[in-house]
Structure 1
Amino acid sequence: YEVKIYQPLSKAKALTTNHAQYATSLGIPFVEQIDASADCNLVIDGLFGFGLTRPLEGEMAAMVDRLNQRSTPVVSIDLPSGLHTDTGAALGTAICATHTLCLGLWKKAFLQEQALQYLGRSELIDFGLPLADITAVLGKMPNLQRITPDLAFQALPLSRPPSTHKYKQGHLLLICGSRAYMGAALLAGLAARSSGVGMLSIAVPESLRLLLIGQLPDALVMGCPEDETGAIAQLPEEMDFSKYTVIAAGCGLTQGASAVIEQILETDRPLLLDADGLNILAKLGTIPTLQKRQAPTVLTPHQGEFKRLFPDLAEPETDRITMAQTAAAQSGAIVLLKGARTIIASPKGKAWLNPESTPALARGGSGDVLTGLMGGLLAQGMMGETNPESIVLGAAWWHSQAAILAAKERSELGVDASTLIDYLIPGLQQLKALCLHDESEMGDG
């Protein structure tokens, strides 16, 4: 290979200077301008890496911008030059790599949504950092973890005792739908059924009841009084909340169902809120309302809903991981912040990040599917000793893996919400096969 080196910085650390002198001794030419490398088939970016805090300016920024205009593949070492190590933000500008080799341990930037356009395909280069050194710096259990297949698999209630019955496998109450958003109730109900929950009850406006019964004959569908807009005006007077393991509410409700959300917030049942359930909560006052609850609460906002729920936290300069962790600590709720890198934060300070997803999920109804699936899994898990954070991260992983599988077979354009539901079980089977294969290899080793 013919190699050229461009070294724009006159001042360098001693080790960098030694490496440059060694390259010179090998006869590798140095070029004065980045344009002299225009005929190269590959660029290796080693300008800046871990620890950059100042923005790229002047000639350095102009050089990066010229490089980004090329179609030449770029491999960045540790981090694309110009990215902040923790927030993943571009400091002025940053190199858009096609491949990034992260050295030793994953940097926080790799887990940030705003860094994705710069990272390209990421790969960890493990060169054997001693565990004792890692523990001395990070502690035994870091507050932020990437979700792995094994971690997700262990969180899912896949194993049942030989002697059991439906009432031991959880009872989920879904409160969802309106005349304007009939499909949301159906999508959430079908996804909940795919979770394997023992009993599924669905409260919808009376005008939706027959539609739901026709599509979900195995669910207990309750028609509720509705207002002039078609929203649920109130829940049935005879409803006994103690029958339900978990309540999930919000999909397609509209804000006309405010009284219903207020009512379930006062129950002692574990609660999952999405969509208009979150918007109504925001109007009630997120933190003071949730601080009154004793049972676990799970919130699943996208960025816009998060800003309404926690207006003081959604600052542009604050990274999403810190926002979710702070929101969970202040509200006492488990916060799942949706995005290309979904974050799950516990009130105890710990957070998990889903490193795998697909733009195919940027479709109406995908969130309804997640709510139904997660509600069903929570109802099963809460019957045992599984903590709700584990169930939430398992649901998020399963949901994204189903979408990835569907996109692989049908393209990113072919994954509507109904198709996503069809791929939930195949996605789970794929996850199970992967984890069992890994266990088998460990046993053989």
Structure 2
Amino acid sequence: MGDLATMAQMKELDRIAIEERGIPSLELMENAAQAVAQAVVNLAGPADGRRSDGVIATATSVVRMRTETEPTAEEQREAEAAENIILSKNTDPTPRIGIFCGPGNNGGDGVAAARILLEAGYRVRAFLLGSREKMTPDERAMEEKLREAGGELETLDLEDRRTTAWLSTCDCFVDALFGVGLQRPLAGEFLALVQWLNRMRTPVVSCDLPSGVHGDTGEILGDAIQAKVTVTFTCAKPGLYLDAGAGRAGKVEVANIGIPWELVFEQIKQGREGTRVLPDYAKLHLPRRPVDGHKGDFGKLFILAGSEGYTGAPNLAARAALRTGAGLVFLGVPREIYPILAVKCDEAMPFPLPEKYEEILEKAKGCDVALIGPGLGRHPKTEKLVRALLEDLDIPVVLDADGINALCGHIDILDKRSAPTVLTPHAGEFARLTGCPLPVKDRLSAARAFAKEHHCTLVLKGHGTVTAAPSGNCWICGTGNPGMAKGGSGDVLSGMIAALWGQKHLKGPYTDLSELAAWAVWYHGKAGDKCARKLGEYAMLPSDLLDAIPEVLLENTDRG
């Protein structure tokens, strides 16, 4: 599980390391450049070109695409020079690396990486975008070292045919334009370069963040680099895992650049409002179940769900709860759909909802956890029932879908609850509940603020689902895929959360129920990833998740 750092936290961490701990900034930059250079080597292959694929393109075809009329003598000379540059790749298979640097310290990382790769025997050209007058002192120092090694920091001109011809033969590009410093949309030559790079098929290594991705939110600022690998420094940034930013980051590698571990622990890991990512390779080893346990020990769940036309949601939620270990699942549904659920359910125990509220309340109070909302509908009488249960129940409640919608305009009911509550909205439901505009641009901050204000756990679904605790701690999920974006997936998730919350052996004085909910989200996404590999993102169904849950839990159960 990896701790994440916001842009502000990283700037403060760098400041303390340099100004208070006396670590030379050039040393940190050199270490960052070494990590970037290694990522380039991993993609481009060794400097002797043994992995080269030979001919890159026929130069004449490249030239003809760029000239629609008969070329002048000067244009012909340029075309011939470009052709020679391209064809030279066939006789010199040494990997070629194009490095694009901004005028800040992220650009300095790129300049230093250029020198390291040049000294290692690669063909390297480094290009500057932006004003030379704005270059930082550290970048200027790295430029001097690059000159001493026989390199040069050139001014980029994409109109120069020789330059674009050379770049067309590159085996790898390095994006060192902005890092965590970007706050406004890309424009001008920076936007033009990003769009040009994205049209190429050459793999890109980004330094710290793909340029154009907001480090805290994952928002795309105008456009952004499509990286193959992002080498991020000291700590990963939330934007690498959230929303569209996650799709631009490629493989994320976290590099230690020399900031002392105890300083990172003090400033980031011990923070009262930490943010962690649960990556694809994370593990939470569930304890072995007590040998003398019985079904009551593993959670009695009360589910209030379903309405006419929505009989699948309660079935999916109930089956997911059972697959995730719940001992007993009582499924209360409207009387008119009870016959359908009675046929659908084998292990869960459906029952028609009584007419009297007191009887429903008594049934729910006899359970360990209540799950309210999947497919419930928005009839005023139903919403009144939901609000009454929230006021009267003193057991944990998982509130999903129309259960959340019933709270719109009645958020005070949530505030009055003393027992734990988790809400699992998607962006639209969250917007209806809070009145915030769509899209929710900063899901991490929005989720954290809501959970703290209303003293609940919030699971704000989306790419990189955010689970926020009342304490302010947050977890970002690194599993899941677009194939899960189908009606019913959320019902499965709500059942999984309820099941984990209801199992007595998973709870104790040191248990954080919010973190347990975050792991349910991770298991859910991991099951989705297994389905995608087996069935493909187009064909997979929410019901397929139910069949993948056992494998996920088996991989994450302590067998010792």
TM-score by length of 1: 0.87
1:298 is aligned, of 404, 408, 422, to 422
User: 1:430 corresponds to which residue?
Assistant: 555
Deviations 1:55-98 (A, max 9, x none): 43323322322222322221111112233332333344332222
User: 1:101 corresponds to which residue?
Assistant: 231
Specify whether residues 57 and 149 from structure 1 end up closer, same or farther in structure 2 by C-alpha distance, changes over 3 A only.
closer
User: 2:254 corresponds to which residue?
Assistant: 124
Specify whether residues 204 and 45 from structure 1 end up closer, same or farther in structure 2 by C-alpha distance, changes over 3 A only.
same
Q: How far 1:49 moved relative to its partner?
A: 1.4
Gaps spanning 5+ residues in structure 1: where?
227-232, 441-445
1:346 aligns with 2:469: yes
Q: Name the stretch that deviates more: 237-246 or 160-169.
A: 237-246
User: 2:406 corresponds to which residue?
Assistant: 280
Whole-Å Cα distance in 2 between the matches of residues 379 and 107 of structure 1?
33
Whole-Å Cα distance in 2 between the matches of residues 303 and 238 of structure 1?
30
Contact 1:203/1:235, CA 8 A, preserved across alignment: no
Q: How far 1:429 moved relative to its partner?
A: 1.8
Contact 1:225/1:234, CA 8 A, preserved across alignment: yes
Contact 2:478/2:522, CA 8 A, preserved across alignment: no
Whole-Å Cα distance in 2 between the matches of residues 94 and 345 of structure 1?
28
User: 1:221 corresponds to which residue?
Assistant: 350
User: 1:264 corresponds to which residue?
Assistant: 389
Contact 2:318/2:331, CA 8 A, preserved across alignment: yes
Helix, strand or coil at the partner of 1:298: strand
Whole-Å Cα distance in 2 between the matches of residues 6 and 413 of structure 1?
41
Helix, strand or coil at the partner of 1:414: coil
Q: Which amino acid aligns with 1:339?
A: G
1:5 is aligned, of 99, 115, 126, to 126
Q: Which amino acid aligns with 2:555?
A: Q
User: 2:298 corresponds to which residue?
Assistant: 169
1:333 is aligned, of 441, 456, 472, to 456
Equivalenced residue count is 424
Q: How far 1:245 moved relative to its partner?
A: 0.5
User: 1:145 corresponds to which residue?
Assistant: 276
Deviations 1:235-266 (A, max 9, x none): 85684332111100111110122132122112
Specify whether residues 293 and 61 from structure 1 end up closer, same or farther in structure 2 by C-alpha distance, changes over 3 A only.
same
Q: Name the stretch that deviates more: 216-225 or 256-265.
A: 216-225
Contact 1:56/1:91, CA 8 A, preserved across alignment: yes
Contact 2:319/2:348, CA 8 A, preserved across alignment: no
1:324 is aligned, of 438, 447, 451, to 447
Identity over the aligned pairs, expressed in percent?
A: 32
Specify whether residues 151 and 49 from structure 1 end up closer, same or farther in structure 2 by C-alpha distance, changes over 3 A only.
closer
Q: How far 1:31 moved relative to its partner?
A: 5.6
Q: How far 1:331 moved relative to its partner?
A: 1.5
1:83 aligns with 2:204: no
Contact 1:224/1:234, CA 8 A, preserved across alignment: no
Q: Name the stretch that deviates more: 419-428 or 28-37.
A: 28-37
Helix, strand or coil at the partner of 1:153: coil
1:403 aligns with 2:534: no
Contact 2:365/2:395, CA 8 A, preserved across alignment: yes
Whole-Å Cα distance in 2 between the matches of residues 96 and 139 of structure 1?
30
Q: How far 1:420 moved relative to its partner?
A: 0.9
Contact 1:4/1:31, CA 8 A, preserved across alignment: no
Q: How far 1:356 moved relative to its partner?
A: 2.0
Q: How far 1:16 moved relative to its partner?
A: 1.5
Helix, strand or coil at the partner of 1:145: strand
Helix, strand or coil at the partner of 2:139: helix
Whole-Å Cα distance in 2 between the matches of residues 237 and 136 of structure 1?
49
Contact 1:254/1:276, CA 8 A, preserved across alignment: yes
1:22 aligns with 2:141: no
Whole-Å Cα distance in 1 between the matches of residues 505 and 366 of structure 2?
13
Contact 1:87/1:319, CA 8 A, preserved across alignment: yes
RMSD: 2.6
Q: Which amino acid aligns with 2:315?
A: L
Q: Which amino acid aligns with 1:412?
A: E
Q: Which amino acid aligns with 1:251?
A: P
Q: Name the stretch that deviates more: 377-386 or 349-358.
A: 377-386
1:53 aligns with 2:178: no
Gaps spanning 5+ residues in structure 2: where?
1-94, 96-122
1:245 aligns with 2:245: no
Whole-Å Cα distance in 1 between the matches of residues 279 and 196 of structure 2?
37
Whole-Å Cα distance in 1 between the matches of residues 538 and 190 of structure 2?
39
Contact 2:229/2:251, CA 8 A, preserved across alignment: yes
Q: Which amino acid aligns with 1:135?
A: F
Q: How far 1:193 moved relative to its partner?
A: 1.2
Q: Name the stretch that deviates more: 381-390 or 74-83.
A: 381-390
Deviations 1:189-210 (A, max 9, x none): 1111112111111101223323
1:73 aligns with 2:199: no
1:392 is aligned, of 517, 521, 532, to 517
Question: Which has more radius of gyration?
Answer: 2
TM-score by length of 2: 0.70
